[in-house]
A and B are shown apart, each in its own frame.
Chain A
């Protein structure tokens, strides 16, 4: 503890110095206000004893400057005074003095005052230190939040908007949103959306949104079913989130035609199917527990299926809406939500949020507010990007013996190989169909000698495949040669399949018979291929497929 004595009387200085040093304080001495300020700038001083009347700069002038120099930390200034009038006391206080000590000095009073002010000084120093630490942590947290917010907004931002399909509103109660609303379109053209509400709000609630959104976008991109998406999300959240956290969610798929909806709903308030006027046609209740609670074994995949019409709309909201409280403590509730839907035709989410705010009299928002309205309309046709095709000619052929016919799937493998060629993947379903029909014809009728007439009898369809299996087991000596050739100039694929069988022309020779025998398969071939030609014997087929 270091004390500065400021007095122009050498006697006073000596006296005070002796008294204070006796009590184990360090003492510095200055003879006027100016000297005092110099000492304060170069030395850490804890208490100032300040005389009023001094040359150069008196105590009244020095006190405010001393206080200014001390900054935020309390530096006690105790006036040494012989004055007794109230006006002088007031002036001492007005310029920043904290206390007085009278001449002549009383040892006990001096000691008590010094100790009291020293304690206050110490508390102030500690508070100042804590405040600085707090500021540091606060700044650090702010900075980290900014970084995380940046990541969140980029990860969760909707790259594609669906203004015709969906109107939605999200307003978080804090910087981070514990609710999420995701939308995407599948390769088949279906529209998917997910409304999720994590336990609580703020950053802790928002962290789950990152992995959940990745899973959602990835799986929609593969055109997966809604319950498969729910299953996967549940697994991810069950693994990641602590036990007390979960995510109430509705996952909805509207088919490309806009005519049917499938939904998985867990732990969220009721969804409403409404008409243009806002009349509730059907209420969809959550049938499952929220995501992230049940393990893989316990998880339930049941879906809700709905047939919908183009003028119908599906409304979904998180519990923040119905649990918004008025100043009297009443909740907005489901009935007010339903009447808000009825308030005007083609109600928007903004209309509903406005009603919620009016209800709460614009009080502080307690939870994240999220609501979405899906219009049950058909999707616009997907844009087909122009495909580029490989410029290199390519051919492949395989000769299959009986063993390979028994236990391999040559067509699937061949289509997989061909799909690797640039531009061909888009056509793989058609190519599979052509090759599968032709190969099965060769195998079933040419090599195995089965009669597809069986298929037309009752239960014959099943019987045919049983016979086929039996015949295949007994097959010993056979050959099927499949070849495929890609011609980049004409953008065509040439296929030929040739078998070691007798060919159907040996038994049947007229065209109607041929047609009946191959039935539906052959007519499909003719529609999908550019040309289909059998050789005279009927054991070799050549097909041309155009990629254009």
Chain B
């Protein structure tokens, strides 16, 4: 379980990648990861390609992020979900608030 973040070379995209388990154990590091979103950041990508597990606390963390960032950024993408995680996001109607790819 770990979290890493990466800004694109033009500084417009911030990618937060979560490995293993996405749950409340990451609550602090996740909050720190998006605290650095600056004025030039247009898009945040939550990359779940290496995420095996998530629970409702992860959903809460994502909603919190959405609330904190508000309109200051263009969009939040949740990308590269494994099929079961995608289903969990759909059941929770997250596709209405996030761009799920």
Contacts and interface: CB of A to CB of B under 8 A. Distances in A.
Contacts of A429: 52-54, 82, 84-85, 88
Nearest to B81: A188
Contacts of B23: 436
A427 B53 CA distance: 11
A260 B55 contact: no
Contacts of B54: 429, 433
A256 B101 contact: yes
Contacts of A259: 101
Contacts of A225: 15, 17, 47, 49
Given A260-B101, A436-B23, A519 B6 contact: no
Contact of A520 (B53, B59, B81): B59
Interface residues of B, number: 41
A155 interface: no
Contact of B8 (A188, A303, A461): A303
A304 to B, nearest CB: 6
Nearest to A382: B83
Interface string B58-101: 01110010000000000001011110110010011000000001
Interface in A206-233: 222-225, 227
A256 B12 CA distance: 22
Given A305-B43, A519-B56, A524-B88, A461 B61 contact: yes
Contacts of B31: 462
A227 B49 CA distance: 13
B8 A302 contact: yes
A521 B60 CA distance: 10
Interface string A220-262: 0011110100000000000000000000000000011101100
Interface in A9-38: none
A270 to B, nearest CB: 14
A462 B67 CA distance: 13
A416 to B, nearest CB: 10
A273 B6 CA distance: 23
Contacts of B84: 427, 429-430
B30 to A, nearest CB: 10
Q: Is the interface of B mostly helix, strand, loop or mixed?
A: mixed
Contacts, number: 110
Given A302-B7, A303-B8, A257 B55 contact: no
A189 B17 CA distance: 18
Contacts of A304: 8-10
A125 to B, nearest CB: 67
Given A223-B80, A225-B49, A465-B24, A287 B60 contact: no
Contacts of A427: 84
A257 to B, nearest CB: 5
Contacts of B101: 255-257, 259-260
Nearest to A427: B84
A225 B31 CA distance: 22
A175 to B, nearest CB: 38
Nearest to B10: A304
B40 interface: no
Contacts of A222: 50
B88 A437 contact: no
A258 to B, nearest CB: 10
Given A188-B81, A301-B6, A524-B91, A412 B13 contact: no
A168 interface: no
A432 interface: yes
Contacts of B56: 433, 437, 519-521, 524
Nearest to B77: A260
A437 B49 CA distance: 22
A433 B85 CA distance: 10
Contacts of A302: 6-9
Contacts of B9: 287, 302-304
A494 to B, nearest CB: 20
Contacts of A415: 53
A305 B8 contact: yes
B46 interface: no
A428 B91 contact: no
B47 A432 contact: no
Contacts of B61: 461
Nearest to B79: A255
Interface string B12-33: 1101010001011001100100
A467 to B, nearest CB: 12
A190 interface: yes
Contact of A465 (B12, B27, B77): B27
Contacts of B27: 461-462, 465
Given A255-B79, A429-B82, A528-B91, A224 B49 contact: yes
B2 interface: no
What are the nearest 5 A-B pairs in CB distance?
A429-B84, A521-B56, A302-B9, A432-B53, A436-B55
13 contacts: A188-B81, A256-B80, A301-B6, A303-B9, A304-B9, A427-B84, A429-B82, A433-B55, A436-B23, A455-B60, A523-B91, A523-B92, A524-B56
Interface of A: 186-188, 190, 222-225, 227, 255-257, 259-260, 287, 301-305, 412, 415, 427-430, 432-433, 436-437, 440, 455, 461-462, 465, 468, 519-521, 523-524, 527-528
Given A224-B50, A440-B55, 17 more contacts: A187-B82, A223-B80, A225-B47, A260-B77, A260-B79, A302-B6, A302-B7, A303-B6, A304-B8, A305-B8, A429-B88, A433-B55, A433-B56, A436-B53, A462-B31, A465-B24, A521-B56
